Amino acid sequence: MFTLLKALRSRHVYLSEPVSMVLALVIAEVFYKFHSFLLETGAFLITWFVLGAIAHRLAAWAIPDASAEPRSIP
């Protein structure tokens, strides 16, 4: 986990992942009652992954990649 977090140096990651983690934690706490720690942890991680992917897509849509080459209009 430490190596993964150290490898992620993007500012976008530091801003979006905690938000998606807290939202996934709230969803898991309110809705997931499997009476099994392993199942609830797995559901929480899947929820966090899905919310992180949605946040990444929204950020990519809202903020275009500055490193991409501009398209020329013919």
Asked whether residue 1 carries a pLDDT value surpassing 80, the answer given is no
pLDDT for residue 33 is more than 70: yes
DSSP-derived letter for residue 67 is: T
Question: What are the boundaries of each domain within the chain?
Answer: 12-60
Q: How confident is the model at residue 12 (pLDDT cuts 50, 70, 90)?
A: low
Quote the CA–CA distance of 54 and 58 in Å, as a whole number.
6
